[in-house]
Chains A and B, each alone.
Chain A
Amino acid sequence: MNFLVEAFKQAFYLIFHLDRELLQIIGLSLEVSGGALLIAAILGIPFGAFVGLKKFHGRGFIITLLNSFMGLPPVVVGLFLYLLFSRSGPLGFLGLLYTPTIMIIAQFILAFPIVAALTHSACVKVEPDVKLAARALGATSSQVTRTVIREARYGIIAATVAALGRVMAEVGGIIIVGGNIAGYTRVMTTTIALETDKGEFELALALGLILLLISFLINIALFSIQKKGAQKPQWL
């Protein structure tokens, strides 16, 4: 019991004194997860909207695929990328293994299906009246699309936030492709795994608390966005 108290004390000490190592690790975490999320949002939102609004052949299959990839196990992504980007693998010549770049790629793969699938369902859920009204008012097809996306914005933001929550908490994939190199590819979750192995619980706990705090903030944001989105549109 004493040991737990001691570890917590140390953890708070590290947090409040903005320990350099700690800051660097948090910074890289935000950089990797933020970068992955940004790319996933840029590609995933248009893709999800497209699938949600247009009727085309194979649409059902793509939706099923996106939904099942939402639960993609990070270690499998890590393994797959490792084999692909290892020097003996087909993309080895790029020299990306054990760099922050490949960690972004790994997390992008995890975030993209979430952003795309949830954007899709947000667009599908927009009241059909909105589409009809826009068309009745003489909107072109692309204007209709834009109107629907605007109406679905709360759902889309929630999709992005959910994806961020997933990648921030992820450890299995990035520890394989990033290698957990100190000061270079070591992020919050991989540090926690390592420090626990070493029995150095202070830094692990400090990072765990910060990770909890971040995920708490993300969820507050998500909650308030969803609450706002639940209100009826003003013009109805």
Chain B
Amino acid sequence: MKKFAKLITMIALFATGMQAEEKSIILATTTSVENSGLLSYILPTFEEKTGIKVKVVARGTGAAIEMGKRGDADAVFVHAKDLELKAVEEGYFVNRHDVCYNDFIIVGPKNDPAKIKGLNEATEAFKKIANSKNLFISRGDNSGTHVKELQIWNLAEIDPKNQKWYLEAGQGMEKTLRIANEKQAYTLTDRGTWLAIRDELDLTMLFEGDTILVNQYGVMAVNPEKYEHVKYDEAMQFINWIISEEGQAAIGSFKDKYGNQLFIPNAK
């Protein structure tokens, strides 16, 4: 029995030993930021400068905000400004700042069966897609992209839910694009993910440029008054760095492997 107790203690020590470490924060963010490689490009500079390790958990925007609301993250870096401002208003977050932006585009089959090429408004394009009954793949995962898509359907006064031509993937942007490719369907995508994998896809960009398609990224800290345990000071160091000249320059200089700039810094 003694031996047994000893073993259990050893395991407990072993388990806690793995946790002992330097200062760190948990940053809840979106797959588009993490998968594009932006964070692994800019974070080492910050970590070296401050000694704060940033542990990145990548989810959809909705899930990332939810993580913060539950107190499971110290800061969030997402792209659904309306949702962010709402969560700040509800008292879950403080110090929200714009960080950078890029834009959404509509991609689809090269023969463009819904004839959306050359249109001026995204709502117009969505209406035409709905009328054509050509397949449209939605992220369906409550991500920033999904929220934007629903906003446009709403403005176009169309309820796509349960329509035969509307499929919800429930997955990340990359997988959704691949599904759209297999099914020769339309989809709304952020430009970064599109640029990263367009060479592998038999789809083409059909619509861009409407102001509604601006994709604003923002950062905010979990309210320390809501959750005492959050590492507010470290989170604020991160936020202040990413909106500083140095952080902004780092974002601006990030390029994907094809040399495209994916994020345009615009912190004020």
Chain A residues in the interface with B (C-beta under 8 A):
31, 35, 38-39, 42, 86-88, 92-93, 95, 97-101, 104, 179-182, 184, 194, 197-199
Contacts and interface: CB of A to CB of B under 8 A. Distances in A.
A181 B35 contact: no
Interface string B72-83: 100000000000
Contacts of A86: 70-72
Contacts of A97: 72
A198 B35 contact: yes
Nearest to B59: A179
B18 A180 contact: no
Contacts of A95: 229
B56 to A, nearest CB: 6
Chain B: interface size category: 20 to 34
8 contacts: A39-B11, A87-B71, A97-B72, A101-B15, A104-B15, A179-B55, A180-B57, A199-B196
Given A87-B229, A199-B197, A100 B19 contact: yes
B55 A87 contact: no
A99 B26 CA distance: 11
A44 to B, nearest CB: 13
B72 A87 contact: yes
Contact of B8 (A31, A42, A92, A197): A42
A199 B200 contact: yes
Nearest to A31: B18
Nearest to B70: A88
B27 to A, nearest CB: 9
Residue of B8, B35, B172, B227 ringed by the most chain A CB atoms within 10 A = B35
Nearest to A39: B11
Given A198-B174, A199-B196, A199-B197, A35 B71 contact: no
Given A42-B8, A198-B35, A199-B200, 14 more contacts: A38-B11, A39-B8, A86-B71, A88-B71, A88-B72, A98-B72, A101-B19, A180-B57, A180-B58, A181-B55, A184-B55, A194-B35, A197-B172, A198-B174
A181 B39 CA distance: 12
Contacts of B57: 98, 179-181
Nearest to A93: B229
B11 A35 contact: yes
A198 B35 CA distance: 6
Nearest to B197: A199
B175 interface: yes
Q: Which 3 A-B pairs have the closest CB atoms?
A: A87-B71, A179-B57, A88-B70
B258 interface: no
B14 A35 contact: yes
A86 B26 CA distance: 13
A182 B70 CA distance: 22
A197 B200 CA distance: 14
B16 interface: yes
B260 interface: no
A101 B35 contact: no
B47 to A, nearest CB: 11
B95 interface: no
Contacts of A199: 174, 196-197, 200
Contacts of A104: 15
Contact of A182 (B14, B56, B174): B56
Interface string B138-176: 000000000000000000000000000000000110110
B192 to A, nearest CB: 12
Contacts of A197: 31, 35, 171-172, 174-175
A52 B196 CA distance: 57
Contacts of A87: 70-72, 227, 229
Given A42-B8, A199-B200, A100 B56 contact: no
A98 B175 contact: no
A182 B40 contact: yes
Contacts of A42: 4, 7-8
A179 B71 CA distance: 14
A157 to B, nearest CB: 18
Given A42-B7, A199-B196, A100 B15 contact: yes
Interface in B17-35: 18-19, 26, 31, 35
Contacts of B31: 197
A87 B229 CA distance: 9
Contacts of A39: 8, 11
Nearest to A179: B57
Contacts of A182: 40, 56
